[in-house]
Amino acid sequence: MSLRVLAAMSGGVDSAVAAARVAEAGHDVTGVHLALSANPQSYRTGARGCCTIEDSRDARRAADVIGIPFYIWDMAERFHRDVVEDFVSEYAAGRTPNPCLRCNEKIKFAAVLDRALALGFDAVVTGHHARLVDGVLSRSPDEGKDQSYVLGVLTREQLRHALFPLGDSTKAQVREEAARRGLMVADKPDSHDICFIADGDTRGFLADRLGTEPGPIVDESGEVVGSHEGAYGFTVGQRKGLRIARPAPDGRPRYVLSIEPVSNTVTVGPRSSLQVTSIVATRPIWNGPVDEPREPLACTVQLRAHGEVYGCRAQVSGDELHITLDAPATGVAAGQAAVLYAGDTVIGSATIAAAS
């Protein structure tokens, strides 16, 4: 059955090949590039970003080669509100957000999908490396490029209107195919870091918006061992850039253990103190093959994009998801997503609120 499909084209190789595959399969495809900045020069330039003038031109050229209509949608205001401002407010609250995850949730599969359905499209196509079988999200065979984690926040309804044509391909295969198709982005480097922070200086970006607020860095006993210009400049598990005046008595590195925005205090300690086995997460979403479990569920959990996977038991308690890990994890930060899996299949997700 032929579908009327909207292909989100970032200007990279993945979204170009995804659009080409769907068009070749006989679907009625329209390409769209999302303009996410009112001033594209303020975002990354060259190959490092996904929100630039160069990227929009690359997307248009790819659409021309594929032979599909192409449009640019202005999502700058929505992106700034739902992704950039959310990023700043989360750091101000002592949490560590994932802006790519938020962009997928709020922009690509909320704002874009809603508009696409209103315009009569059947589905939205993206170049994410993940598999979708009968509406169920699973990992890509390319472990290093798998993006099921950042898609784990999507609802079943959103997944029902999504297509991920690259699901069974590795990144190397995608690049080879792009070259065969004559797509100029075949060798374009992947985007990385945070697209809306032009120089990659997250701490400086936050300082410009939140101002400086000097506070103490303390050890686990409460002794002051250094100072900072804003607790928002740190994240749990951070080792470098701590500006500690005195080394630890044992000479070992110290890591950020916690961030308290009310008192503006950053607590540091040894790596061993980062270990947690219990996680409380909020706003659970069950988007896998089973509904919300009534009994403790044995599964695995991923706590960061491209992070380690842990065996666990997950149990719902009211509006919270309680996760008990089989082995300790380190660097678990509030604000990140906890995505549950059964093998390679996504079961659901929730937002980490606390860990111990």
- Rounded Cα distance between 204 and 117, Å, is 39
Cα 274 to Cα 332: distance, rounded to the nearest angstrom: 8
What H or E segment, with its residue span, contains residue 218? strand 215-218
Fill in the amino acid letter for 290.
V
Nearest Cα residue to 267 out of 210, 319, 226: 226
Whether the Cβ atoms of residue 345 and residue 299 lie closer than 8 Å to each other: no
Per the annotation, the verdict on 299 as an active-site residue is no
Count of H helices and E strands in the chain? 10, 17
Would you call 312 a catalytic residue per the annotation? no
Of 50, 51, 103, 299, the active-site residue reads 103
Instruction: Please say whether the dihedral angle defined by the alpha carbons of residues 311, 308, 220 and 88, taken in this order, is positive or negative.
Output: negative
Give the whole-angstrom CA distance, residue 273 versus residue 240: 17
Local structure of residue 80 (DSSP, 8 states)? I
5/162 Cα distance (integer angstroms): 9
Q: Which of 50, 195, 299, 312 is catalytic?
A: 195
- Residues 53 and 40 sit within 8 Å (Cβ to Cβ): yes
Name residue 231's amino acid: A
Alpha helices in 25-127 (DSSP H): 53-66, 76-79, 85-92, 99-103, 112-118
Question: Which active-site residues does the annotation give?
Answer: 103, 195
